Structure formats: structure tokens, C-alpha cells
Chains A and B, each alone.
Chain A
Amino acid sequence: MKVNKSVWGFLAIIFILLLVACSNEETATDKEETDNSTTKSTEPADPFGKYEETITIAIGQEVDPSDTSLQDGDTPLDNQYTRHVMENLNIEVEHAFTASPSNYDQKVSLAIASNDLPDAMVVGPVELRQMVEADQIADLTEVYENYASPAIKEIIDSSNGVALDSVTFDGKIMALPNSQAGADGVHNLWIRQDWLDKLGLEPPETIEELKEVAKAFVEQDPDGNGADDTIGLAGPDTSNKLYANFIESTNNLYGFDGIFSALHAYPGYWLEGDDGSPVYGSILPETKEALEVLREMYSEGLIDPEMGVREDSGESIISGNTGMFFGPFWMPYGPLTDAVKTNPDANWQSYALPLDSNGEYTPHLSTTTTQFVVVRKDYEHPEAAMKILNNLLANESEFDPSIGGPGYYPLRLVYAPADEMEVTTVALREVLAGTKQPEDFYDMPAYKLLKSDVDTIFDVKLEPYDNMAIQYWDIENHLGQWTRAYSALVGTAPLVDTEINGVKSLIYSQTKTMEDRWVNLKKLEDETFLKIIMGTEPLDSFDQFVEDWKQQGGEQITNEVAEAVQ
């Protein structure tokens, strides 16, 4: 008996301890909340106003562990950007959490699910919707109206209301939208020009020619090392997609976007059907045809045999095994920098290819707004997030990316006029050709990097100024500027020189039923298509997929999209 009593007493003590621990926490947060509601911001509405007393903002931030750009002694919390924010705005940035790029979304989801939110963070459209419904984030209508700098308002307005529409729920602005260059959403063909030249080939204009080039790259040992180790066309790795879709319409690396588009297949996009009503591109016969083409290419070994399994398809680009891939204009910011460092002869050029059967370039186009800054409800300085963004846009050209990449700027959103890259490319060409002087471009504040671009172009570009081959660049002199200039003069050039008959999705956001059903439909789609291409399932499983897709909520979603479009 005595023993039993002691056991129960012991248990009781543990329970009490637990209860005390829990309730302590609760009272603490209660207190905090009352504090917050009593303090009202008394700052005058100045978009760049410096706080009199230092305030802190705890943010969630993406930190790439393989990014070594920070100069010695700097940390993700103490670098040129955070010091700039501190000096100009008197805002101290803290980390509520950090995560590597591949884990960031997961960290955000975890924060939402546990209702343990940072003061502010960058999220995608799906998470934004979720947080609005959970009533977790602050209404930023007043913040945007009173504190957004004129430059940001100008850029956001240039999207014809798309940017603001995507953050407006019940008439309230619930997040700060980004607005990015349209070039992010076009996936060009990047190709090893030196391999083409060596094998006496031309850039492939059609799908057929693309196959021939890929075959030559695989079989004719273009790198001349005597080993059978070359890949014709790269395929998506585990963190990328077969094609960009309506929710994530930009920056898909190593996908097959170019091949789908050339065949007028737009999987993942909402298109106007023959009868005028919306239809989902992935279930159309064109997509099946495109899958058949890809399936043949894969079985002939023209596509990376390890697609879909690789952790990072960029590795084989860096190591010089890959001959072609699809990606946006900024690939020099991606693997190409390391690729040319490894092999200075790797002459990566970009083309608006392959063309469709009429000889036209018909890529899918993106929306301008894909990322959002949200502020936790009850955070006492919601305008601080807006000020941090104002500060970025106003001063971006002052920062030197070679002592800390732009990703280290807290709450960084891209603000760029839709034609930023095209304008940059044209400007650089004119300066190189001598038809204009750098000074002619100084007065274009919305194009925030243009001034530094035109000022430094002669540091990295060698003569002849109209030949963009890799040997006519001085990479060593200023790697950061080379990255930028190469992205413009090589990566964006096809967008300037080609007439683009692009296709837009009818919508770029989720509907109600999608919240519950989309994930599983998407999984069904991704799995089926990947297996069809890699030959583990017959091509006709596509028909079964279409049926399943409609049955498991696709039909209902299509109706919702029809309503949303009207």
C-alpha cells in the first residue's frame, strides 16, 4: 500500500509540474498580447523613416548553406544588408528560423501548422491562402497605402492589378506581393555552343533537330575525353518539375518546358478550350503527344537517364557532362558560374528554341507575382516589413553581390518592371556598340541595377563587343558583374531577338476545392507523367490518368476555375 501511495504521489507531482510549465507559457503569451494591443504605432507615414528607438523583427529566412559569397566575418545576421537596414531604418533583424532553399517551404508549413510564426517571412501563394484562412496574418491595407514607396507602387501598378489582386482577400491587402521580370517565366534552351561547333552542328530549330543534336552529344564524345559519359538533354532533379505550372509558373530548372511548348502542349496550365470554357492543359491530347516524344527520347538515351532521381541536375552541368537544358535567363546565377570556373571553354549559349511546326516560338508565360511577405498578426510594427522592402528597392545597386549574395537581404522580394531584363539587354548592347553612353541610362530608377550594369560592362566584356562567346568575356575581373551581364546579354538575348507568341494560364492561384484536392491530383499527374517518360508505364496509362483526374476532384475544380475566370 505504501509503495502505491508513493507512486501516485510521484505521478501527481509530475502532472502538476507539467501543468505549471504549460500554464506559465500561456500567461506569458497573454501578457505579450495585451502589451501589443495597447501600443499603437505613432510614427508618421514615411516610407523610409528611421525608427527613433531600435525595433527588432524576427524573420524566417532562406539561407543556402552552400553559398560562400559572404565576406570573412559576416554571418547571415550580420552582413552588408542587415547593417544597411540597421543604419537606415534602425531595425534589428533576428532569425525566428532559417532553412536551406529545399527545406524552406517545409519550415514555413511547420510554422503555420504550429501557429508559431515569425514576425514576418516570405511565403508562396498556397501558404498565403492558408494563413489568411487561419487568420494568422495582419491586414496590411493601411501599411501598403501609407508606407509603400512610390517606386514600389509604380512597379506593382505596372502589373495591371494582378499583383494586388493576388493579395486582396475580402477587400483587404493581406500581404506584400512581389513583381518580377517576365523573363523569369520563359525557359530557354541552353546549349554548349563549343560542342555544337566541334561536331559541326547548328542550334536545333525543331524537335527533330533537337533529337539529332542530343544524339550527337551522347554518341560522338563532344568533350573528347574518350569516355561515354555525356548527357544530351538534362532532366529535372528531385527539387524541380517536368514543367512549370500555374501555381509555380517561374524558374523551373532542367524541365522539358521547351519541348512541351513547341508541341503546343501546356501541361499544368489552365487554357481556354475549344468551346471557350477552361480546361486543364495536362489532360489534353497534345500533352499525350508530347509525352510520347519525350518517352522516345528517353528510351533512346537522349535524356539524362538519371532524371527524376538526381538530387541536383546542376552538378552534371558544372562537371561538363551535360550538353543542353531548359532554364530561365538567370542560369549564370545558377550552375553556369561554376561550370565556366571548372572549364573556361564551356561556352553556354541560350536560344529561344525549339520552334513549333509553324516556325514560331510559343513558350508558356508566367504571372508577375509568385512570392509574398506576410506579417504576423499582433506584430507591433507591421510597417517595418514594408520599410525594409522600400529600402531594398531604393538601394539595391549599392550592394555588392560578391561579398554577400542578394538572398541575404532580409525579407527579400524581387521588384522589377516586367521588362527589366529586356531593357537591360538592349541598354548594354547600345553601350557596347557605342551608340549610347552609360549616362543615358542613369535616370531610370525603377530599373534599379541598370546604372551599375552599364557602368561596369566594359570591366567584364572583351572585344569584339558583339560576340558573346565565352572566350570574349573577362570572368576573372569581376565575377559578380559577369554573372549579371552574361544573364542579360546571353540569357535574355533570345527574348529580345525573338517574337514570342506566349501562352498564359487563365488563373495563377488556387480555388477552394484545390486546397483539399490539388496535392493528390498533382501527385497523380507528376507520377504518371514521370513514369510514362521513363518507360515504366505504357503511354496509354495517360488515358487512365485523365479519367482518375476528373473523378478525384478535377471536374469540380474545372467548374470552379470557370466561375473564377468569368
Chain B
Amino acid sequence: MRTKGFAKHYYFMLAPGFVWLILFSIVPMFGIVIAFQNYNPGQGVFGSEFIGLETFKYMFTLNDTMNVFYNTIFIAIMKIIGNLIVPLVFALMLNEVRYMGLKRSIQTIVYLPHFLSWVILGGVLLDIFAYQGPVNQMLGAFGVDPVLFFGRADLFPFLVIGSDIWKEFGFNTIIYLAALTGINPALYEAAGIDGANRLKMLWHVTLPGIRTTAVLLAVLSLGNVLNAGFDQIFNLYNPLVYSTGDIIDTWVYRAGLLNLQYELATAVGLLKSVVGFILISLSYYLAYKFTNYRIF
């Protein structure tokens, strides 16, 4: 390929994304200043009084701070693990289905929820798990007392994790299936001639064949290690489950937008970014070390 005919149109195609990035990701970074100010919206970022680290001191006296950090990391990591393993297993099982029509229909059905927003799914889930909803009626048939699922702080994180995996696994399955079709059939034939059974083929041909995809998905999802899913939790939670279900994003939303505590919300948001940055750098390094895979 020659560099002389420099492809300007590539850069034009890149432009909208670039503008978006600058406007919504880079410019807002200057808002971090608010965390160190007694922010006054009438005077804006430039006119507000500077108060140093006071907000951070107050932040660490709050019971909530550590709690929401813990919730966020717990829910996010469980989601990442679940969203890697479940679709992988499902894709491997689906791959063994020989009847094409069945395979296709299952594939389509399981990834439908991916296209529904949490506003809709939230309402559906609340109804399904309601006190007199279908799940409790089923439990009732076995003589179990009805459970107020979305009022139970101990169950809430698992409902969140479970429903998120249920919503997303179909979509990730497709990525794995695509990777599976990319494996050269000759490898399976060769393995068969060497006397490998189905299980051995899975272990020695299939899994190594999609390892890169799995690692890629894992590394990409690490970027979300502190994003436990605002829209999902926001549509499902209530004050009863704040203790285990409240995550940084929902907390910041309530503090900053509902309760006008701009400094505190910004400070927590900033802390999230710092911790997130460290975690992502670390996991990126680990991914490189163990699989020799890097994005940059």
C-alpha cells in the first residue's frame, strides 16, 4: 500500500466521532474543577469560590461513599464475569446444534432483549417479580411464602446481575458464533483423523480458536469496571435496596441533579474516574502479560 495517496476521506469519516468525543468526553473534563469549589451555577465554573479539598473531606465522612463504591465494583465485576462465561458456554452449545433452522431461531430469540431499553424491561421485571406476580405465584404453588424481590437488599444485586446477563448474553453469543465459524474446518478433520472425540476437539481446537475473541471482549469490558449500569439500576431500585443496589452513577445523579449538591457529586464522580483509570490500566497490563494481547 502506498502512503502517497493519503486517504483524506477516512479522516472525514472519522470526523463526527471525533467531534463527539471532544464535545462530550474531553470538554466536560474541565468540570472537575467544581469538586474543589463552592460551586454557584449563577457564576459558573470561573466565578465560583475555591475551597480546596473540603468537599473530599466531607465525602469520606459519609457512610455512603464506601458503600456505593463497593456496590459498584461488586455488581460490575459480577456482570463482566457473567457476560463472558454465559455467552461463551451458550455459543459452544448452540454450535453443536446441527439443525440450521433451530439454531437460527434460538439465536434470534435470545438476542431480542438486547434491543429493548431498561425503561421497558424495568417495568416488565418489576411486574414479573411483584408480590403477586408470576414468579411468586409459582413459588406459592410449592408452598413458599411470597417474596418481595425488589424490596430485599440481599437479593437485589443478584437480580440486577441476572437480568443484565439475561438481556445481553444473546448479543455476545453472536460474536462468539461468528468467531466459531472462522475456525478452519480442516482443523476438526485433522483432529478427527488423529482420534480426538468431541470433547477433545472442543478443548484443543474450538477454545484456542476463539481465545482472541474472548480476550478482546474481556479487555473491552474492563473499561466498564466501574460502570455497573445506570439505566438498569435506576429503573429497578428503590430506597429499600439503596444499601446494596445504589451505585456511584445513581448516587451522583441523586446528589448532583436532584439535590443540587454539585461539589459532592463531582467529587465522587472524580474519585470514580481515578479509581477506574487505575483499574483499567492494571487490567490492561495483566491482559498483555497473560495473553500477549494489546489494543494499542
Q: Which residue of B lies closest to A22 (CB)?
A: B27
> Is the pair A3, B43 in contact by a Cβ cutoff of 8 Å?
no
* Closest-CB distance, B51 to chain A (whole angstroms): 11
- Answer whether residue A68 sits at the interface, using C-beta atoms and an 8 A cutoff: no
Give the interface SS of chain A, mostly helix, strand, loop or mixed: helix
Query: How many residues of A are counted as interface, with CB atoms below 8 angstroms from the partner's CB atoms?
Result: 45
CA distance A306 to B132 in the complex (A): 10
* Stretch of A30-38, A106-114, A158-166, A467-475 that contacts chain B: A106-114
* Closest-CB distance, A378 to chain B (whole angstroms): 12
- Answer whether residue B40 sits at the interface, using C-beta atoms and an 8 A cutoff: yes
Please report which residues of chain B, range 125-166, place their CB below 8 angstroms from some CB of chain A when the two chains form the complex: 126, 130-132, 146, 148, 150-153
> Is the pair B22, A114 in contact by a Cβ cutoff of 8 Å?
no
Chain B residues in the interface with A (C-beta under 8 A): 3, 6, 8, 11, 15, 18-19, 22-23, 40-44, 58, 61-64, 126, 130-132, 146, 148, 150-153, 238-240, 242-243, 255-262, 264
Q: Which residues of A contact B8 (CB under 8 A)?
A: 6
Q: Which residues of A contact B41 (CB under 8 A)?
A: 112-115, 130, 134, 136
Q: Which of A10, A133, A306, A526 makes the CB contact (< 8 A) with B151?
A: A306
> Is the pair B260, A126 in contact by a Cβ cutoff of 8 Å?
yes
Q: Which residues of A contact B264 (CB under 8 A)?
A: 516
Q: Which residue of A lies closest to B48 (CB)?
A: A134
Q: Which residues of B contact A131 (CB under 8 A)?
A: 42
> Is the pair A527, B61 in contact by a Cβ cutoff of 8 Å?
no
Given contacts A305-B131, A308-B151, A309-B150, contact A133 B40 (CB under 8 A): yes
Per-position 1/0 for A67-109, Cβ under 8 A of B: 0000000000000000000000000000000000000011001
Q: Which of B44, B58, B130 makes the CB contact (< 8 A) with A115?
A: B44
- Answer whether residue A20 sits at the interface, using C-beta atoms and an 8 A cutoff: no
Q: List 22 A-B contacts (CB under 8 A).
A: A2-B3, A2-B6, A3-B3, A110-B257, A114-B41, A115-B41, A134-B41, A135-B40, A136-B42, A306-B148, A308-B151, A308-B239, A309-B148, A309-B151, A309-B240, A311-B126, A526-B239, A527-B240, A530-B239, A530-B240, A552-B61, A552-B62
CA distance A105 to B262 in the complex (A): 16
> Is the pair A106, B257 in contact by a Cβ cutoff of 8 Å?
yes
Q: Which residues of B contact A534 (CB under 8 A)?
A: 151, 240
- Answer whether residue A563 sits at the interface, using C-beta atoms and an 8 A cutoff: no
CA distance A131 to B43 in the complex (A): 11
Q: Which residues of B contact A110 (CB under 8 A)?
A: 257
Given contacts A134-B43, A308-B238, contact A18 B23 (CB under 8 A): yes
- Answer whether residue A7 sits at the interface, using C-beta atoms and an 8 A cutoff: yes
Q: Which residue of A lies closest to B23 (CB)?
A: A18
Q: Add 16 more A-B contacts to A3-B3, A113-B262, A238-B238 (CB < 8 A).
A: A10-B11, A18-B22, A110-B257, A113-B41, A126-B260, A127-B260, A130-B260, A133-B40, A133-B42, A305-B146, A305-B148, A306-B130, A308-B151, A516-B261, A519-B259, A552-B61
Q: Which of B42, B58, B240 makes the CB contact (< 8 A) with A135?
A: B42
* Closest-CB distance, A2 to chain B (whole angstroms): 7
Given contacts A109-B257, A127-B260, A519-B255, contact A531 B62 (CB under 8 A): no
> Is the pair A536, B63 in contact by a Cβ cutoff of 8 Å?
no
* Closest-CB distance, A25 to chain B (whole angstroms): 13
Greatest chain A CB density within 10 A among B148, B151, B255 is at B151
Q: Which residue of A lies closest to B264 (CB)?
A: A516
Q: Which residue of B lies closest to A116 (CB)?
A: B41
* Closest-CB distance, A377 to chain B (whole angstroms): 8
CA distance A110 to B151 in the complex (A): 29
Given contacts A109-B258, A306-B148, contact A516 B18 (CB under 8 A): no
Please report which residues of chain A, range 518-533, place their CB below 8 angstroms from some CB of chain B when the two chains form the complex: 519-520, 523-524, 526-527, 530-531
> Is the pair A527, B130 in contact by a Cβ cutoff of 8 Å?
no
- Answer whether residue A548 sits at the interface, using C-beta atoms and an 8 A cutoff: yes
CA distance A290 to B242 in the complex (A): 23
Q: Which residues of A contact B130 (CB under 8 A)?
A: 306
Q: Which residues of B contact A6 (CB under 8 A)?
A: 6, 8, 11
* Closest-CB distance, A115 to chain B (whole angstroms): 5
> Is the pair A14, B18 in contact by a Cβ cutoff of 8 Å?
yes
- Answer whether residue A229 sits at the interface, using C-beta atoms and an 8 A cutoff: yes
> Is the pair B260, A548 in contact by a Cβ cutoff of 8 Å?
no
Chain A residues in the interface with B (C-beta under 8 A): 2-3, 6-7, 10, 14-15, 17-18, 105-106, 109-110, 112-115, 126-127, 130-131, 133-136, 229, 238, 305-306, 308-309, 311, 516, 519-520, 523-524, 526-527, 530-531, 534, 536, 548, 552
Q: Which residues of B contact A524 (CB under 8 A)?
A: 63
CA distance A520 to B64 in the complex (A): 9
> Is the pair A14, B131 in contact by a Cβ cutoff of 8 Å?
no
Q: Which residues of B contact A114 (CB under 8 A)?
A: 41
Q: Which residues of A contact B153 (CB under 8 A)?
A: 536
> Is the pair A113, B43 in contact by a Cβ cutoff of 8 Å?
no
* Closest-CB distance, B122 to chain A (whole angstroms): 10
Q: Which residues of A contact B62 (CB under 8 A)?
A: 520, 552
> Is the pair A113, B42 in contact by a Cβ cutoff of 8 Å?
no
Greatest chain A CB density within 10 A among B19, B23, B148 is at B148
Given contacts A10-B11, A136-B41, A305-B131, contact A523 B242 (CB under 8 A): yes
CA distance A226 to B155 in the complex (A): 32
Q: Which residue of B lies closest to A228 (CB)?
A: B132
CA distance A323 to B255 in the complex (A): 37
> Is the pair A3, B6 in contact by a Cβ cutoff of 8 Å?
yes
Q: Which residues of A contact B61 (CB under 8 A)?
A: 552
> Is the pair A113, B258 in contact by a Cβ cutoff of 8 Å?
no
> Is the pair A308, B260 in contact by a Cβ cutoff of 8 Å?
no
CA distance A109 to B240 in the complex (A): 24
Given contacts A109-B258, A133-B40, A134-B40, contact A14 B22 (CB under 8 A): yes
* Closest-CB distance, B159 to chain A (whole angstroms): 12
> Is the pair B23, A115 in contact by a Cβ cutoff of 8 Å?
no
Q: Which residues of A contact B238 (CB under 8 A)?
A: 238, 308-309
Q: Which residues of B contact A520 (CB under 8 A)?
A: 62, 64
Q: Which residue of B lies closest to A130 (CB)?
A: B260
Q: Which residue of A lies closest to B265 (CB)?
A: A113
Q: Which residues of B contact A238 (CB under 8 A)?
A: 238-239
CA distance A433 to B17 in the complex (A): 75
* Closest-CB distance, A17 to chain B (whole angstroms): 8
Greatest chain A CB density within 10 A among B64, B126, B146, B257 is at B257
Greatest chain B CB density within 10 A among A7, A106, A306 is at A306
Q: Which residues of A contact B42 (CB under 8 A)?
A: 115, 131, 133-136
Q: Which residue of B lies closest to A237 (CB)?
A: B238
CA distance A135 to B62 in the complex (A): 29
Q: Which residues of B contact A113 (CB under 8 A)?
A: 41, 256-257, 260, 262
Q: Which residues of B contact A127 (CB under 8 A)?
A: 260
Ranked nearest first, the 10 interchain pairs of A and B with the lowest CB-CB distance are: A134-B42, A519-B259, A135-B42, A136-B42, A309-B151, A306-B131, A134-B41, A115-B41, A134-B40, A308-B240
* Closest-CB distance, A237 to chain B (whole angstroms): 9
* Closest-CB distance, A24 to chain B (whole angstroms): 15
Q: Which residues of A contact B261 (CB under 8 A)?
A: 516, 519
* Closest-CB distance, B135 to chain A (whole angstroms): 14
Q: Which residues of B contact A311 (CB under 8 A)?
A: 126
* Closest-CB distance, B84 to chain A (whole angstroms): 32
* Closest-CB distance, B117 to chain A (whole angstroms): 16
Q: Which residue of B lies closest to A306 (CB)?
A: B131
Q: Which residues of A contact B58 (CB under 8 A)?
A: 516
CA distance A246 to B44 in the complex (A): 31
